[in-house]
Structures are given as structure tokens and as C-alpha cells.
Amino acid sequence: MAPQLQLGDLPPAAIPNSAEVYPAVRPGVAAQGAEVYRSLGCNQCHTRQVRQDALLFGARLTETGTNGVNLELPGSGKTNFVNFDLLIALAKVRTDLAIAPIALPSGLAGDTNVAPKFAQFGANLALLKRSDDKSGIARPTTGPSVNELAARRPAEVLAQVGPDAAERAVKLLGDAGAKAELVIYNLGPDMDRGWGARRSVARDFLNDSPVLLGSVRVGPDLASIGTRAPEKFAAPWKFASTNTATELEQHLLVHLYDARLLAKGSTCPSAKYLFDAQKPEVRYAGEPLTLPGKDAPVFPKHNARALVAFLLTQRTDVGLPEAPTPAVAAPAAPAAPTAPAKP
């Protein structure tokens, strides 16, 4: 009764900017594969739930904005774009950084465009200094400065902080005419192993009946096996969404045939009975499978393809409100895109 009350009304989530929902109903073959997974007892050694210890946030500066002046920095011969408002905003966010002084080049003292901006910058710096003093902030005078941070793009302005601090930073940088985005950090050993981009939640299992979470991890978690990149098949397993389905499919078929062909000494049981040694006499026999180090190919039976089709639907890379992923968090950031240049 309790699971029914908790999950019974849970709807699939709409995927932003698309007509699709998550989780999608599995295609027929993959649905059959779920049954094969169950019948072969894969869940005796594999879990399908990624765990997460913490969710933290950060702010990333992506664009400097247009509100500033081009300055040829003395001696360097290089022209730098300086957004004064951004420097002040960064200084408010990062009280551990110095503010490197910028002097008005003597040649520009009479420039009616540049000189007032310098004056304004000086006034804002004085205000900042006063509020620093009031809150007891002792800023270093040497060392890494906000100027260096502003010159880097993208720059990690804040990393692994609470949501309030990150949102404040994104807002301050946006108000300064720059572009910043909210960064999400899903943290925990499972993420470090590359088993998924985020934790598994109830919604991931809406189309499963019965839900085979598994409780023993003799082998790696398979919740996001459908997102592992081909070049990173070897442990440590890395999350990536760059895999091509066919490469991953081949890889998983070989793994099913004999895991020892891919991982020496693997204890994952082989399912050679899901393959024919000879091309079967049926019309739709499918493509032969080349095995590494072997001359003769084998022919996956329907159940082998179905099981792999099921594994390929296992992906926790879609962000959900209750379990966001980095990719989904970005557009939600309330960054002001192009604030009009202040006089």
C-alpha cells in the first residue's frame, strides 16, 4: 500500500525543449529484454540504483558582457576588455580574492567615454571597501585577483556551495551585464565511478514491473549502462553521453557472450546459450557478431538482442526536478543576457 500511495500518481516528466517524456515507455524488444534480465537473475549481482551523498551548486562565468571599455594595458601592448561592474560583482562573490588596481591611462584622461567609467568604478570600489569594513572582510591585497577571474571564460566562480550562495552569485554577475550559469554537482562514490550523472529516483522505474533494484553489488551498477562511452568501457566506468548505440550494443553483446573476452577474470556469467554458432535457418537472423580475438562470428538470438536493447534503455542522464543533472540545470539560471550598457 505505501509504495502505491507514494508512487501511484507519479507522472512521467516532460523533457524540456522536446515533445518527449521521461521515462519513455520501452520499445517492445526492450520490454522483452526486461523479462530476460529478470529470468536470468542479473539483479542477483547488479543493482540498478545510483546513490548520491550530496547535491551542491556552483556558478560559472561564461561571458563578460558588453558593458565596459577596451584598455591597452601598459607595457603589454595588448588590448583588454574590462567590465568594471563585473569586477565589482566578482569581488562581492569572492571575498577571498584581491582586486588589482587599474589606473586610468594618462592618454585617456580627456576621453569622455572612458574617463567617467573610471570615475564610477572608483566610487563603486570605495562603496565596496566601506561595506567590506562593515562586515569585517579583510581582502588580500596581493595574490589571485578578481581581474584574473574576469579574464577567464568560462571561469568557475564558485564551486560546491549551497544553493543560496550559487544563486546569489549568478544574479550578481547577471546584473553586471555578464552571463553566468548555475552549476550542479552530484557527489558521491557512485558518481566518481561514473555509474550515473545523478541519483536514481522513483520516477526512473515507472515502467518497471516488477522493479528489480537489486541489493548486492558483485558487479557494477547498471542504472546508466546505456550512457557509457565506448572509449571508456574499461573500469573505472565513466559517465558520458557520447556513446553511439551500435558500438555500445556490440560491446554489450560480446560481454554477454563471454565477459572474459573484455575483462580478464570477470565473474559475470556468460550467456553463450543466447547465441548461435552457425547462421540460423530463419529469415531474419540478424547481423553476425565479431568476437575479439576469434575468427568465427556468432549469431545473437532474439533474447540476446532484447536483453541488450533493455540495457541500452538504462540511462539516468535525464534531469528531473527531484534529481537534477548538470545539463538540465543550465537554462534554469536567471542570468540577465544583455543588460543595456550603463552610462
Among 13, 30, 34, 42, binds ligand HEC (CB under 6 A): 42
Please, what is the minimum distance in Å from the beta carbon of residue 122 to ligand HEC?
Answer: 58
Check binding of 269 to ligand HEC (CB under 6 A). yes
- Does residue 304 belong to the site contacting ligand HEC (CB under 6 A)? no
Q: Give the nearest distance from C-beta 146 to ligand HEC in angstroms.
A: 43
Q: Rounded to the nearest whole angstrom, what is the least distance from the CB of residue 31 to ligand HEC in the complex?
A: 15
The residue (of 80 and 266) whose beta carbon lies closer to ligand HEC is 266
Q: Is 218 in the site for ligand HEC (CB under 6 A)?
A: yes
Distance CA 195, CA 198 (A): 9
Among 24, 31, 40, 240, binds ligand HEC (CB under 6 A): 40
Stretch that binds ligand HEC, among 34-42, 100-108, 284-292, 329-337 (CB under 6 A): 34-42
- List CB contacts of 252: < 8 A, sequence separation 6 or more: 225, 308, 311, 312
Q: Which of residues 223-252 bind ligand HEC (CB under 6 A)?
A: 225, 228, 233, 237, 252
Cβ contacts of 167-173, under 8 Å, gap ≥ 24: 167/57, 167/334, 168/93, 169/59, 169/93, 170/59, 170/333, 170/334, 170/335, 171/334, 172/89, 172/92, 172/93, 173/59, 173/61, 173/86, 173/89, 173/90, 173/93, 173/335
Do 26 and 34 form a contact (C-beta atoms < 8 A)?
Answer: yes
C-beta of 84 vs 195, nearer to ligand HEC: 195
Closest to 95 in 3D by CA, of 63, 57, 56, 143: 143
What's the length of the chain? 343
Report the nearest approach of ligand HEC to the CB of residue 221 (Å).
Answer: 8
**80 touching ligand HEC, by CB under 6 A:** no
Pick from 21, 100, 165, 263 the residue near ligand HEC by CB under 6 A. Answer: 263
What does R_g of the chain's alpha carbons equal in angstroms?
A: 28
Shortest Å, Cβ 150 to ligand HEC: 41
Residue owning grid cell 588580500: 140
Residue 331 DSSP code: G
Which has the closest alpha carbon to 212: 51, 42, 52? 42
Q: Judged by CB under 6 A, does residue 270 bind ligand HEC?
A: no
Residues 165-204 touching ligand HEC, rule: CB under 6 A, are none
- Which one of 155, 169, 253, 259 is in contact with ligand HEC (CB under 6 A)? 259
| Distance (Å) of CA 293 to CA 191, 243, 254, 297 | 33, 23, 11, 10
214 binds ligand HEC (CB under 6 A): no
Examine residue 297 and tell whether it contacts ligand HEC (CB under 6 A): no
The footprint of ligand HEC (CB under 6 A) covers: 37, 40-42, 44-46, 218-220, 225, 228, 233, 237, 252, 255, 259, 263, 266-269, 271, 307, 311
